[in-house]
Amino acid sequence: MLAGLGLPKAVRLERGARVKGLIVYCRAGFEAECGAELAARAKEHGGAGTVTGGPGAGYAAFEASDGEGALALWRACSLWDFVFGRQVIGWFWRGPAPAAADLPATLRSALAGAPARKFSAVFAEAPDTEAGKRLWPECRRLSAALEEALTARKILSPTSVSAARLHAFLPRPGELVLGLSDPARSSPWPLGIPRLRVPAAAPSRSAQKLEEALLLFLSEEERVRRLKPGMTAVDLGAAPGGWTWQLTRRGLRVAAVDNGPLDPALLASRLVTHIRADGYTWRPEQPVDWLVCDMVAAPARVARLVGLWAAKKLCKESLFNLKLPSGDRLAAVRRAAQTVRRELDRVGARYALRFKQLYHDREEITGHLRVVGWEPAAKTEEPKAAKKRPRTTGRVRTGRRPRAHGPGAAGTGSGGSRRSRTGRGGR
Ligand SMILES: C[S@@+](CC[C@H](N)C(=O)[O-])C[C@H]1O[C@@H](n2cnc3c(N)ncnc32)[C@H](O)[C@@H]1O
């Protein structure tokens, strides 16, 4: 099961179900990375075909040369397989977009070949691009017409939450693609875009990034259990304070590390200690529950820092932003993942590591790391007390030692193996 998304049960498909290919939505400008990830998954699962979706398309698509391969590939893929993918759809029909009057007939014939006979929702979508946005009003009309048609045929059941979602995708004017997504391994949001409302009180728009990350990487139950009032966090590169604000509104006590100024309202909060220090060298006196990091730096540098904090048991879990360089961005992600892993493998940690380019990420991605346990002979040192800091700096008081989480902990997928399966997002 995907942490933060989806359901434990995979959709039931018709006998002899077929899909013709996959579509993965992404941020415009990242089609090459998304397409490369799709091609890699196809190669791994033996799916022969071609990857399309050029620069600026807002998606990458895979067209299989044989239906069997495409179905196997779609069933093997989850949203976590794509750092640069927002949604994963198996498509089964493509043709000219029908006029409103012809929609029922088109649907009748298209749905006759659908891999599923019951749907929990209908998402009518066009790419998240300038050209795609011009089709969004048409999507709204299409969505209403589809819902009506499916309801009339008694094949739309919003309460059957594990049933497939039907996607009607308009890649360009006049073209319609029908596909489906499995709620157990795909995004619950149309276009994979969460609609977040961050109150005006938030010190920065960045607050949305952390909000989305928490929604995506943690399930509702995990958010309740792992972000509780009284827990502690360090925010490296905190100013003006959007991420700190997200943590404090959940009742966490936060050491906000930044030489820049924090939002005065945050400073007034008894939950926040502003520490004017270098985020790379500062360490807490006591381990904390969470490390979040939004410093602008080379991805490998942030990755090493995050890996070190986890390896030294300074935090249990972290969310961090990696600013991508121009050039080979997939290689940068791969190197960052290797860097985190190196730190943790060295000390015998078992962990879950995943990356995703969030909707609110621009030329960046967000990582989530959680240590779920330690090998019996783990070499990890207990954290040493940090050097005494000047009196101007705050103190993070936790009074609690970190506990290792069991390998069966929700959302890790570790299954007791040395390294959690990260979704290939964690390459
Ligand atoms: C993108 S902003 C962070 C925004 C913040 N997450 C928010 O929600 O408001 C990056 C911050 O990192 C800080 N920063 C950069 N290098 C740093 C370092 N070495 N130590 C501490 N802070 C650093 C900058 O001062 C800047 O405020």
| Residue 6 located in a structural domain | no
Whether cis (ω within 30° of 0) applies to the bond prior to 299 is: no
The burial class, CB within 10 Å (0-12 / 13-18 / 19+), for 410 is: middle
187 and 227 share one domain: no
330 and 372 share one domain: yes
**Secondary-structure percent of the chain, ordered helix, strand, coil, rounded to 5:** 30, 20, 50
Domain boundary among 129, 158, 192: 192
104 vs 151: CA distance, rounded Å:
12
Beta bridge partners of 254: 233, 272
Measured from the CB, is residue 374 less than 6 Å from ligand 1?
no
Range list of β-strands (E), 135-237: 164-169, 175-181, 232-236
Residue nearest to atom 24 of ligand 1 (CA): 237
Measured from the CB, is residue 260 less than 6 Å from ligand 1?
yes
399 vs 108: CA distance, rounded Å:
64
Determine the residue of 204, 246, 259 to mutate for testing ligand 1's pocket, defined as the one with the most ligand atoms within 8 A of the Cβ atom: 259
Number of C-beta neighbours around residue 308 at 10 A: 17
214 and 123 share one domain: no
177 and 40 share one domain: yes
Measured from the CB, is residue 302 less than 6 Å from ligand 1?
no
The catalytically annotated residue of 313, 316, 323, 379 is 323
Domain boundary among 146, 165, 192: 192
The pLDDT, as a whole number, for residue 379 is: 63
The pLDDT, as a whole number, for residue 416 is: 33
| Residue 12 located in a structural domain | no
| Residue 3 located in a structural domain | no
pLDDT in tens, 195-229: 998 888 899 999 999 999 999 999 999 999 999 99
78 and 43 share one domain: yes
pLDDT grade for 397, boundaries at 50, 70 and 90: very low
pLDDT grade for 93, boundaries at 50, 70 and 90: very high
Q: Is 316 a catalytic residue?
A: no
| Residue 188 located in a structural domain | yes
Distance of CA 308 to the CA centre of its chain: 23
Determine the residue of 296, 301, 393 to mutate for testing ligand 1's pocket, defined as the one with the most ligand atoms within 8 A of the Cβ atom: 296
171 and 304 share one domain: no
- Three-class SS of residue 189? coil
| Residue 143 located in a structural domain | yes
- For residue 185, give the DSSP letter: G
258 and 229 share one domain: yes
Q: Kindly state the average pLDDT of the residues 114-134.
A: 96
The helix (run of H) or strand (run of E) holding residue 291 is: strand 288-293
| Residue 200 located in a structural domain | no
Nearest CA to 320 among 301, 341, 345, 334? 301
181 and 213 share one domain: no
Check: CB of residue 146 under 8 Å from CB of residue 168: yes
343 and 247 share one domain: yes
The two structure tokens encoding residue 300:
């490998």
Distance of CA 254 to the CA centre of its chain: 24
pLDDT in tens, 279-328: 999 999 999 999 999 999 999 999 999 999 999 999 999 999 999 999 89
Nearest CA to 104 among 164, 152, 141, 137? 152
Q: Where are the alpha helices (DSSP H) in 263-298?
A: 264-267
Measured from the CB, is residue 293 less than 6 Å from ligand 1?
no
The pLDDT, as a whole number, for residue 201 is: 87
140 and 272 share one domain: no
211 and 143 share one domain: no
Instruction: Say how many Å lie between the CA of residue 53 and the centre of ligand 1.
Output: 35
The burial class, CB within 10 Å (0-12 / 13-18 / 19+), for 166 is: buried
Asked if residue 147 has pLDDT above 70, the reply is yes
Q: Where are the alpha helices (DSSP H) in 78-170?
A: 103-112, 130-133, 136-152
CATH code of 341's domain: 3.40.50.150
| Residue 13 located in a structural domain | no
The pLDDT, as a whole number, for residue 388 is: 44
Closest-lying ligand 1 atom to the alpha carbon of residue 292: 6
CA Rg value for the chain: 23
The pLDDT, as a whole number, for residue 399 is: 27
Q: Which domain holds residue 73?
A: 21-192
253 vs 267: CA distance, rounded Å:
12
Determine the residue of 212, 214, 283, 294 to mutate for testing ligand 1's pocket, defined as the one with the most ligand atoms within 8 A of the Cβ atom: 294
170 and 308 share one domain: no
pLDDT grade for 5, boundaries at 50, 70 and 90: low
Check: CB of residue 187 under 8 Å from CB of residue 87: yes
DSSP 223-265: HHHHS-TT-EEEEET-TT-HHHHHHHTTT-EEEEE-SSPPPHH
| Residue 165 located in a structural domain | yes
The pLDDT, as a whole number, for residue 421 is: 36
Domain boundary among 165, 192, 219: 192
CATH code of 187's domain: 3.30.2130.30
How far apart, in Å, are the Cα atoms of 427 and each of 262, 290, 334? 35, 23, 5
How many domains is the chain partitioned into structurally?
2
Asked if residue 130 has pLDDT above 80, the reply is yes
Check: CB of residue 378 under 8 Å from CB of residue 349: yes
Closest-lying ligand 1 atom to the alpha carbon of residue 235: 6
